[in-house]
Amino acid sequence: MNNAKDYFCSMETPVNIYINEKPLVIAGLQQHLSPEFVNAATLFSPSDEETAQTIRLLDKGELPMAVLRSPNPETVLAQVKSHFTEFVAAGGLITNATGEVLLMFRRGKWDMPKGKLDDGETLEQCALREVQEETGLRNVRLGHLITETYHYYPLKEKKVLKHSYWYRMYFTGTELTIPQIEEDIMDIQWIRPDNLGKYMQYSYQNIVDVVVKAGYKL
């Protein structure tokens, strides 16, 4: 049985949901937000129609960002999710013995390995399987959960919201990486921490969030 919902009794807030790389932030009424969101369009206890309209404007690029505040942010998150098909995924931020971080070049962006949760898998099993499939690395040890991210993408006729769980992982072997070409992975590199900022300029906002939450300075 998939058990993603069992991992947190209450959601980690604020939550950033990236819609075409534009942040939709869900937070409590008194929760502190980053300075970048101080002047963002903000709705308090939004109705479902207001939520839908906000999503549409972000999707069209007519809003650069938006904030939804509520005394019950979990309810607002559920309201946002109702406008999408939700996929649960898991992946990892992998470091090697010298502390370098693994990044993959896929579809024009620097990314990290992750993939959709299969029936019967735990999140940890999914994260390790996806790392092994996408990078070819076998000797990988699972660490702690770093964070969760949400991002939207269109898939055929569906509007998909990918809810990804990200784990710390440690490569302990000597094997070379093997990019999974069928997943459009063209290159894999080990990046020194002090160079991560250069690569994050050509990555996704949810990946930047994972790197920052893992404690790296960009």
Model confidence at 6: pLDDT above 80: no
Q: In the prediction, which pLDDT does 146 show?
A: 97
d(CA 127, CA 124): 5
Bridge-partner residues for 103, per DSSP? 189
Residue-averaged pLDDT of the chain: 93
Least confident of 12-16, 189-193, 197-201: 12-16
What pLDDT, on a 0 to 100 scale, did the predictor assign at position 190?
Answer: 98
Partners of 69 in the beta sheet?
Answer: 27, 44
Q: What's residue 9's pLDDT?
A: 36
User: Do 13 and 94 lie in a common domain?
Assistant: no
Q: Are strands 22-27 and 41-44 parallel, antiparallel or unpaired?
A: unpaired
Q: For the segment 10-67, what is each residue's pLDDT rounded down to a tens digit?
A: 456 799 999 999 999 999 998 999 999 989 999 999 999 999 999 999 999 999 999 9
Give domain status of residue 3, yes or no. no
56 is in which domain, residue-wise? 9-81
Dist. CA 120–CA 94, nearest whole Å: 24
> What pLDDT band is residue 5 in, cutting at 50, 70 and 90?
very low
- For residues 52 and 118, state if they share a domain: no
Which pTM was predicted?
Answer: 0.91
Question: For the segment 150-169, what is each residue's pLDDT rounded down to a tens digit?
Answer: 999 888 888 999 999 999 99
End of a domain among 61, 81, 101?
81
Domain containing residue 139: CATH number? 3.90.79.10
32 falls within a domain: yes
Rounded to 5 degrees, what angle do the CA atoms 12, 17, 82 make? 90
